[in-house]
Chains A and B, each alone.
Chain A
Amino acid sequence: MNKLRETLREAIVEAGVKDGMTISFHHHLRNGDYVLNMVLEEIAALGIHDLTVNASSIFDVHEPIIEHLKNKVVTGLEVNYMGGKVGRAITEGIMEKPVIFRSHGGRAGDMENGSSKVDVAFIAAPCADDMGNLSGKYGPSACGSMGYAFSDAMYADKVVAVTDHLEAYPLADVSIPEGYVDMVVCVDKIGEASRIVSGTTRITKDPVGLRIAYLAAQVVKHSGYLKDGFSFQTGAGGASLAVAKYVEEMMEKEHIQGSFCMGGITGYLVSMMKKGLFKTILDVQCFDMEAIESIRDNANHQEISATRYASPQAKSCAVDSLDVVILGATQVDLDFNVNVHTDSQGYIMGGSGGHCDTAAGSKLSIVVAPLIRARLPLIVDEVLCKSTPGETVDVIVTQRGIAVNPKRTELKELLVKAGLPVKEIKELKEIAEAITGVPQQVKPEGRVVAKVLYRDGVEIDTIKSVK
Chain B
Amino acid sequence: MKIVKNAVAGTLESSDIFIRVEPSEQLEIDIESVVKDQYYKAIYQAVDEVLKEFQVANGKFSINDRGALDCVIRARMETAVKRGGEC
Contact = CB atoms under 8 A, between A and B. Distances in A.
A439 B41 CA distance: 10
B35 A374 contact: yes
A200 interface: no
Indicate the size class of the contact surface on chain B: 10 to 19
Contact of A374 (B42, B67, B70): B67
A439 B66 contact: no
A362 interface: no
B26 interface: no
A373 B67 contact: yes
A-side interface mostly: loop
Interface string B29-70: 000001101111110000000000000000000000011111
A7 interface: no
Contacts of B39: 375, 436-437, 439-440
A440 B15 contact: no
Contacts of B67: 373-376
A375 B68 contact: yes
A22 interface: no
Contacts of A345: 37
Contacts of A439: 35, 38-39
B38 A374 contact: no
Nearest to B14: A374
Interface in A424-467: 435-437, 439-440, 442
Contacts of B69: 375, 435-436
B12 to A, nearest CB: 12
A345 B66 CA distance: 14
A240 interface: no
Nearest to B71: A435
A163 interface: no
B38 A344 contact: yes
Contacts of A376: 35, 38, 67
Nearest to A346: B37
Nearest to A443: B37
B15 A374 contact: yes
A464 to B, nearest CB: 15
Nearest to B13: A374
A435 B42 CA distance: 12
Nearest to B16: A374
A383 B37 CA distance: 16
B37 A440 contact: yes
B43 to A, nearest CB: 9
Nearest to B67: A374
A374 B65 CA distance: 10
Contacts of B35: 344, 374-376, 439
Contacts of B41: 440
Contacts of A344: 35, 38
Contacts of B37: 345, 440, 442
Nearest to B73: A375
A369 to B, nearest CB: 15
Contacts of B66: 374
Contacts of B42: 437
Contacts of B40: 440
Interface in A330-380: 344-345, 373-376
A374 B40 CA distance: 14
Contacts of B15: 374-375
Interface in B8-22: 14-15
Nearest to A436: B69
Contacts of A436: 39, 69
Nearest to A442: B37
Contacts of A375: 15, 35, 38-39, 67-69
Interface in A131-180: none
Given A374-B67, A375-B68, A376-B67, A442 B38 contact: yes
A396 B35 CA distance: 24
Contacts of B14: 373-374
B84 to A, nearest CB: 25
Contacts of A373: 14, 67
Interface in A379-436: 435-436
Nearest to A377: B38
Nearest to B33: A375
Contacts of A437: 39, 42, 70
Contacts of B70: 437
Nearest to A437: B42
Nearest to A375: B67
Interface of A: 344-345, 373-376, 435-437, 439-440, 442
5 contacts: A344-B35, A345-B37, A373-B67, A375-B35, A440-B41
Interface of B: 14-15, 34-35, 37-42, 66-70
Given A375-B68, A442-B37, 9 more contacts: A344-B35, A375-B15, A375-B35, A375-B69, A376-B38, A376-B67, A436-B39, A439-B38, A442-B38
6 closest Cβ contacts across the A-B interface? A374-B67, A439-B38, A375-B67, A442-B37, A374-B14, A437-B42
